[in-house]
Structure 1
Amino acid sequence: MKISYNWLKDFIETEKSPGELSHILTDIGLEVESLEVVQSIPGGLDGLLVGEVKTCVPHPNADRLRVTTVDVGVGELLHIVCGAPNVAAGQRVIVATVGTTLYPKTSEPFKISKSKIRGEVSEGMICAEDEIGLGQSHAGIMVLPDDTPVGMQAKEFFNIQDDYVFEIGLTPNRADAASHLGVARDIAAFLRRGHRLPDVSAFKEVSEGHALAVVVEDTIACPRYSSVSISGVQVGESPKWLKERLSAIGVRPINNVVDITNYVLHGLGQPLHAFDSDTLSGGKVVVRPARAGESFITLDGVERKLHIEDLMICDAEKPLCIAGVFGGVHSGVTETTTNVFLESAYFNPVSVRKTSKRHGLKTDASFRFERGTDPDITMLALKRAALLIVEVAGGHVSTPISDVYPVPIHPFVFEIRYAQVQQLIGKDIPEIEIRSIIEALGIKVRNEATGILTVEVPPYKVDVTREVDITEEVLRIYGYNNIEIKRQIKASLTTSPKPDKETVQNQVADLLIGNGFREILSNSLTKLDYADNPASAVRILNPLSTDLDTMRQNLLFSALEAVAYNQKRKQPDLKFFEFGSTYHTLEEGYLETQHLSLVMTGRQVPEQWNHTNKPVSFYHLKAAVDAVLQRLNITGLQVMDTPEIGYQYGLAYGKGVKSLVTFGAVDHTYLRKTDVTGEVFYADFNWDLIRKAIRKNKITYREVSKFPAVRRDLSLLIDADVSFDALKAIAEKTERKLLKSVNVFDVYRGDKLPSGKKSYALQFVLQDEEKTLNDKQIDAIVKKLIYNFEKDTGAEVRK
């Protein structure tokens, strides 16, 4: 947001320089990102002086040139060769001295230097108005009044003032400061002095006249609508002062009526709109929601399909503009306009924001309306604009003011406690100082009890509705730099859950990165089509787009979109992991769950001459899953076929009925939905359950056994419905002391086996902590294992 220094001084009397104000504004929360000098005339007429032509004689070597001597008040006369036909002795003229840079209207800037012209020395230049940027005429030099002081600076004679423009990084909560008046209010509060509003006492409201009827059908979206008509205006170019004010802050002048509405907008923060009264049908203005299927052509020439929640300003027959956002192609004033209907309204911020987002329209008006304007300033802005239009465009106010305001918006009233304000700030600011700041900010104190104030906050301070907001206001005006950092900090010890959430997450992230995975971060917003259960989806009330209208219910599609993005850029070999949340709506409220996802696709290793191009498989993903669980020391998990949708096949590890992790090959339906090619393997850890599972983990030390472990393998033909978990339970029951681990290292299903059968290759590790096992002991254990497998599951040992 740009703020003009000269314009700002219309609202507050201050001797502070632009540089000093920059520091003040930044300290009180209106960060000045840049400060630039703005000159209404390029160069600002620097180096130009008023001179008196003492002598003027023909040039001895050129018929059209004159040799002059000019007094510019520096003691010595300047010898200047001049080609203007109207130069004469005794004139007061504008002189560009040596070293001055001129900025002509029709050519590039150039610097004046001492030179010889046809043999005669020339120590400057007597200027025409186009040569110094003041006009277009080049018929001759500018001749000033005879009483103009010699040596006077030209910028002083022409009253050329430099301006300074602050570029303020306005935060979204500071809608009250989105104008020169708003910035002046903050400066006034800091300096503890008053600010001033425009004088509208000259506005004389007429009691007669045929006013347009105003009908507000939606008083929720439009709580207040003020208007007046002005007749007999003449639309044309704005005066110089008005164009300079707008140009200084980067607003392009259009015509005198539109420029006045922009001037009031940036001055007072109240958007206005001027309609051509003669184009309004039916003698009335209707503020209503758009009708279903209604379309509208905006000022940019685009036809837009309206939504039934869009608020429209209409006449008796047609819509004229989108309220608070953008005007229509036929709603504005033109060169032929003579009668103006002027609107000054307060629109609901939520309504304007939704409409602005829906149509992708960002304007100066919508910027302010969607953050919250001042409902109490509409009349002041209306009168100010009407007076200025009459001043610069002629005409007269021809109707009484209409002010539709059925339900007034009241100030925010609540209590604040001095002690709480001091505690939050961290300094015992005197109570009288706190009250002084509050009142300086324009907040009224209704009454004061012991240590408690009841305050009345004006509606334009939309972000000040609670005690903590008042505390923030007091702190920024008092000054963050005035809060000392104490040498001693008193704090109570608080317990934190073990193990530390961040530590565990970092340990797992380091493990995965060390195994070739890359971390991704995805948007929690996604589209409804990606939801596992649309009925329990958390929908966004005001989505940025249809692709970002739902909080994600899984991390699968985030991973697949990352895979698709990389595949399309010729990066097919991928290993990703992501920590993120999923969101669901339940009967008792909302549920947010932390997850860890892994995804693998492509080749095991990048293509090289000494490696075969083997793709990753389910077992590579399983190894990564097992590595994570082993790193966290999670043991004793049940293994089952994954019950989750989205997999072609897979496994789940769990405890009881809860799955800690599911993993497998992603179903091709999901791959097609995200435009992914090839096989993709995906794992999903319920990170909340994982953290609970490791909560009671203890670090234990066990000496490395002095005696070797022994491995034996068995290949079993079993029924297809027999799980590895069941086989593992049988093995552990058979040998409790010496059996250290059971693992499956191969699974086979195929037409070479009988129908309904599968083959498991199991690995058994045996070890005695006290002695070396001999073959007789090992064979006895293996025989017992085979016997129990055959008895309990009908397994057959494959040779």
Structure 2
Amino acid sequence: MLISYNWLKDLINLDKPATEVAALLTGAGLEVEGLETYDLVKGGLQGIVIGEVLTCEKHPDADKLRLTTVAIGAEAPKQIVCGAPNVAAGQKVIVATEGATLYPATGEPFQIKKSKIRGVASEGMICAEDEIGLGSSHAGIMVLDTDLPNGAPAAQYFNLQSDEVFEIGLTPNRADAASHLGVARDLQALLKIPYNLPNVEKFKISNNNRPIAVEVQDNEACPRYAGLTISGIKVADSPDWLKHRLRAIGLSPINNVVDITNYVLHELGQPMHAFDADKITGDKIIVKKAEEGTKFITLDGVERTLRATDLMICNTQEPMVIAGVFGGKNSGVTSQTTTIFLESAYFQPASIRKSSQVHGIKTDSSFRFERGTDPNMVLLALKRAALLVQEIAGGEVSSEIVDVYPQPIQPYSIRINLARVNRLIGQAIETARIKEIITDLGITITEESETDLVLAVPPFKVDVQREADIIEEILRIYGYNNIALSPNLATSYLAKFPKPDPEVLKQSIGQMLAGTGFSEIITNSLTNSQYYDAPGAEADASLVRIVNYNSADLDVMRQTLVYSGLEVLRHNINRRQKDLKLYEWGKVYTKAGEKYQEQTQLALFVTGNAVGETWQQASQKATFHQLAGAVQNILTKLTRATLNVQPVQHRYIKNGVAYWSNNVPVAQMGQLPEAVSKKVDVKEPVWYAELNWDYLVQHYTNQLEAEELAKFPEVRRDLSLVIDKNVTFDQIKTIAWRTERKLLQQLNVFDVYEGDKIDTGKKAYALSFILQDKQQTLTDKVIDSTMNRLMQQFERQLGAVIRK
């Protein structure tokens, strides 16, 4: 959500810097994720000033150029070469000084530098309107009629005030803050400065010549519906001030009437719709549910099939608008419209949410209606919009206000216990301060005693319905940072806790991975169902679907960490960060029949180069072995169990291995298939590992085995085996350890050969064996006997050929 600082100051008298206001809002739960400057003209005319042409002479070496001296204030006059035919002495002009960057109406930006033009130094530029982005004319320089002193900023002459825009990460529970007024309410409580509602005292009804009747057939889905008619308007472009306000918060101006409804929505949080009154057949609005299967074309030209749950705004013959969501093709205002019917309503959130999701339509209106708007704002917003229409588009109010509100929505009544407030906050707050915060937030105290307060919470605070919610409101205004830490945070335990703390293990493994170049990522548990396109009803039934999803791209719970990790890889690769080692802990979710299952996994991703290019070596692509090394380090740290190694059989992994323990896959790793990576538009090879974190934590042991260092030397012997390609190193290790338990200390493969020097289907392993007797020095006889036994077992069990 974007909030304009200048707009905000129209509602509340702020004199603090925007950065300080941003910090206050963040501390109160409206997290400001960004603060950017919005310039009405790109660049804000920085470095561009008012100047006066003192002299103007012909350039000595060019007939069409003029050599001028221009006064720009306290500095000495500047010598500027100008090619405009209308430049003359005595003119007030726009001067771009050295170092200024110009953003022309067409073409690329460029910086003004001191230069020589036909051999004469030029120390700036006298500008035409297209050269500074204020228009398209290039007929000549701009000649000003102004009393502003030389050197005054050009932005001052054009009244180009820059704005600062807050980007607020609005949480779903803060529907009350989804407007400039909502933010002003919080600032009132934080700064003790009252906010001001727009003044609508000038609103008046001119006549009742064009009444539009309203019939609400579903008061549950539409508790309140109001409207009025304005005749004699002229639809045209909006004035600059209105365009600038909308553009500052990321909206594109359309026309004056539509822009006004958008303006009121973002100012007061009340969505509105303007109908062309001449298209309301029968001069009657009917609010009712749609007939199942009705075809309806929305403003974007898409034909949609309505459902019986869709609340519609209709005339006497046909539906015109999906209530609170999107207008119909023929309901909106056009350049030929002269009479409008302004709608302002309160819709039941669940009804709007259902229609928005069914049709896959997300608008600024549906965003607010489906979270809950303020039923008491309906008439104020209607009058505010009507006054703006009359001011900007002309016309007169030609009907009485129709306000269908049979059962007014009452404030929530909540009782809070003061002692419990302090206990849950963790610090005693004076009762007077608690009451002050509550009333500053617009909540009324209806009863009070020494122990309790009974409160009336206004309907616009849709998420404040319990004592805990009130306590949260108090705490966020009082300030989380104002809660003192207890001086006695340390404690000791007499009892042992055999079960490991998962968070401590995470921290330990995370530090280890970070030390080897991995970076942690955290991704969304919600993902796109299109990633899981396996055919068959069984695969589809295993998806955990979100009933009330806000985005079609986030409609299921993830079954794997693969796709969310690939999205992070894509984001970085697209920004030329291609050498990546990432890890993430996250839950995955599946459904089996009526049962839901979740599991915590640790995922590792490796792509790009494992070793960067230096003067000593060339860059090296990441391989399976960099990933396998990281996985083995994790397993070594977490488990002492003997793991069984098998070829991987995983939907998202190929060319890899899996570690099993007690018939449970503990870790699986290999390469992601190209078809999987391409779903997320990742074209680089990606090595991926998936560890069953829940199992590893459950079977974790921190028992260490220590022994005295042996006093007798180690002996190394090498052996070359020719074996079948399908024989794994793990099989060789298993045979070796089973054959020689006492003397064999280490076994390693240091070379692998596959080529034309050995038979097809074969490979050669070069192995090293470290032998040691911890009681005595090994003799050649014992060493040879041990190696012979190992070779015999390799020949017998693997069909190996010993290369001598």
Q: Provide the TM-score with structure 2 as the length reference.
A: 0.64
Alpha carbons of structure 1 residues 256 and 289: separation in structure 2 relative to 1, 3 Å = same
Instruction: Give the deviation of 1:461 after TM superposition.
Output: 1.0
- 1:112 matched to which residue of 2? 147
Instruction: Give the deviation of 1:732 after TM superposition.
Output: 3.7
What is the letter of the counterpart of residue 279 of structure 2? T
Are the counterparts in 2 of residues 261 and 385 from structure 1 also a CA contact under 8 Å?
yes
Alpha carbons of structure 1 residues 716 and 766: separation in structure 2 relative to 1, 3 Å = farther
What is the letter of the counterpart of residue 784 of structure 2? D
- 2:462 matched to which residue of 1? 462
Structure 2 Cα separation of the partners of residues 395 and 162 of structure 1: 32
Structure 2 Cα separation of the partners of residues 109 and 290 of structure 1: 63
Structure 2 Cα separation of the partners of residues 194 and 717 of structure 1: 83
What is the letter of the counterpart of residue 509 of structure 1? L
Residues 671-686 of structure 1: pairs in structure 2 closer than 5 A: 681-686=687-692
Structure 1 Cα separation of the partners of residues 227 and 398 of structure 2: 7
- 1:81 matched to which residue of 2? none
Structure 2 Cα separation of the partners of residues 697 and 796 of structure 1: 38
**SS of equivalent to 1:660:** strand
Residues 257-272 of structure 1: pairs in structure 2 closer than 5 A: 265=265, 268-272=268-272
Tell whether 2:301 aligns with 1:303.
yes
Structure 2 Cα separation of the partners of residues 333 and 164 of structure 1: 31
Structure 1 Cα separation of the partners of residues 628 and 243 of structure 2: 66
Alpha carbons of structure 1 residues 451 and 646: separation in structure 2 relative to 1, 3 Å = same
Out of 561, 578, 581, the residue aligned to residue 576 of structure 1 is 581
Structure 2 Cα separation of the partners of residues 530 and 428 of structure 1: 51
Are the counterparts in 1 of residues 528 and 555 from structure 2 also a CA contact under 8 Å?
yes
Percent identity at matched positions? 35
Alpha carbons of structure 1 residues 747 and 413: separation in structure 2 relative to 1, 3 Å = farther
Structure 2 Cα separation of the partners of residues 622 and 35 of structure 1: 48
Tell whether 2:641 aligns with 1:641.
no
Aligned length: 667
Alpha carbons of structure 1 residues 18 and 781: separation in structure 2 relative to 1, 3 Å = closer
- 2:714 matched to which residue of 1? 708
Alpha carbons of structure 1 residues 475 and 674: separation in structure 2 relative to 1, 3 Å = closer
What is the letter of the counterpart of residue 779 of structure 1? D
Are the counterparts in 1 of residues 712 and 772 from structure 2 also a CA contact under 8 Å?
no
Are the counterparts in 1 of residues 211 and 229 from structure 2 also a CA contact under 8 Å?
no
Structure 2 Cα separation of the partners of residues 779 and 705 of structure 1: 22
- 2:442 matched to which residue of 1? 442
Instruction: Give the deviation of 1:311 after TM superposition.
Output: 5.2
Out of 675, 679, 696, the residue aligned to residue 702 of structure 2 is 696
Structure 1 Cα separation of the partners of residues 617 and 480 of structure 2: 64
What is the letter of the counterpart of residue 172 of structure 1? L
Structure 1 Cα separation of the partners of residues 272 and 678 of structure 2: 51
Alpha carbons of structure 1 residues 293 and 518: separation in structure 2 relative to 1, 3 Å = farther
Alpha carbons of structure 1 residues 164 and 185: separation in structure 2 relative to 1, 3 Å = farther
What is the letter of the counterpart of residue 579 of structure 1? E
**SS of equivalent to 1:703:** coil
Structure 1 Cα separation of the partners of residues 233 and 349 of structure 2: 32
**SS of equivalent to 1:176:** helix
Structure 2 Cα separation of the partners of residues 565 and 244 of structure 1: 37
Instruction: Give the deviation of 1:371 after TM superposition.
Output: 4.5
- 1:593 matched to which residue of 2? 600
What is the letter of the counterpart of residue 232 of structure 2? Q
Are the counterparts in 1 of residues 599 and 694 from structure 2 also a CA contact under 8 Å?
no
Alpha carbons of structure 1 residues 255 and 684: separation in structure 2 relative to 1, 3 Å = closer
**Structure 1 residues 533-542 or 254-263, which shifts more?**
254-263
What is the letter of the counterpart of residue 235 of structure 1? I
Tell whether 2:222 aligns with 1:223.
yes
- 2:512 matched to which residue of 1? 508
What is the letter of the counterpart of residue 304 of structure 1? V
Alpha carbons of structure 1 residues 663 and 112: separation in structure 2 relative to 1, 3 Å = closer
- 2:501 matched to which residue of 1? 497
Instruction: Give the deviation of 1:462 after TM superposition.
Output: 2.2
Instruction: Give the deviation of 1:475 after TM superposition.
Output: 3.9
Structure 2 Cα separation of the partners of residues 670 and 378 of structure 1: 50
Tell whether 2:536 aligns with 1:538.
no
Tell whether 2:364 aligns with 1:344.
no
Residues 203-352 of structure 1: pairs in structure 2 closer than 5 A: 211-216=212-217, 222-230=221-229, 233-236=231-234, 249=245, 265=265, 268-287=268-287, 288=289, 294=295, 296-298=297-299, 302-306=300-304, 308=306, 312-328=312-328, 330-332=330-332, 340-349=340-349
What is the letter of the counterpart of residue 469 of structure 1? D
- 2:131 matched to which residue of 1? none
Structure 2 Cα separation of the partners of residues 236 and 489 of structure 1: 70
Alpha carbons of structure 1 residues 260 and 453: separation in structure 2 relative to 1, 3 Å = same
Alpha carbons of structure 1 residues 409 and 705: separation in structure 2 relative to 1, 3 Å = farther
Residues 701-780 of structure 1: pairs in structure 2 closer than 5 A: 702-703=708-709, 705-711=711-717, 713=719, 715=721, 728-729=733-734, 731-742=736-747, 764-780=769-785
Instruction: Give the deviation of 1:373 after TM superposition.
Output: 1.4
**Deviations, residues 688-718 of structure 1 (Å, cap 9, x unaligned):** 4444555424374642543223435374768
**Deviations, residues 141-176 of structure 1 (Å, cap 9, x unaligned):** xxxxxxxxxxxxxxxxxxxx9999996665625443
Instruction: Give the deviation of 1:280 after TM superposition.
Output: 1.1
What is the letter of the counterpart of residue 712 of structure 2? K
Task: In structure 1, list runs of 5 or more residues that go unmatched.
Answer: 10-15, 39-104, 116-131, 134-160
**Structure 1 residues 328-337 or 412-421, which shifts more?**
328-337
Are the counterparts in 1 of residues 666 and 696 from structure 2 also a CA contact under 8 Å?
yes
Alpha carbons of structure 1 residues 700 and 503: separation in structure 2 relative to 1, 3 Å = farther
Alpha carbons of structure 1 residues 789 and 368: separation in structure 2 relative to 1, 3 Å = closer
**Deviations, residues 234-253 of structure 1 (Å, cap 9, x unaligned):** 22499xxx979957955899
Residues 103-142 of structure 1: pairs in structure 2 closer than 5 A: 109-112=144-147
**SS of equivalent to 1:376:** helix
**Deviations, residues 353-405 of structure 1 (Å, cap 9, x unaligned):** 78779777654x45643553112332454467668879996656546735165
Structure 2 Cα separation of the partners of residues 324 and 525 of structure 1: 26
Structure 1 Cα separation of the partners of residues 352 and 748 of structure 2: 63
Instruction: Give the deviation of 1:768 after TM superposition.
Output: 0.4
- 2:126 matched to which residue of 1? none
Are the counterparts in 2 of residues 639 and 724 from structure 1 also a CA contact under 8 Å?
no
**SS of equivalent to 1:377:** helix
Alpha carbons of structure 1 residues 170 and 493: separation in structure 2 relative to 1, 3 Å = farther
Task: In structure 2, list runs of 5 or more residues that go unmatched.
Answer: 41-134, 151-156
Q: Provide the TM-score with structure 1 as the length reference.
A: 0.65
What is the letter of the counterpart of residue 781 of structure 2? K
- 2:51 matched to which residue of 1? none
Structure 1 Cα separation of the partners of residues 626 and 14 of structure 2: 69
- 1:403 matched to which residue of 2? 404
**Structure 1 residues 419-428 or 198-207, which shifts more?**
198-207
Instruction: Give the deviation of 1:312 after TM superposition.
Output: 4.4
Are the counterparts in 1 of residues 226 and 402 from structure 2 also a CA contact under 8 Å?
yes
**Deviations, residues 717-766 of structure 1 (Å, cap 9, x unaligned):** 6897x876666555444433223244566789999999999987765432
Are the counterparts in 2 of residues 741 and 765 from structure 1 also a CA contact under 8 Å?
yes
Alpha carbons of structure 1 residues 770 and 455: separation in structure 2 relative to 1, 3 Å = same
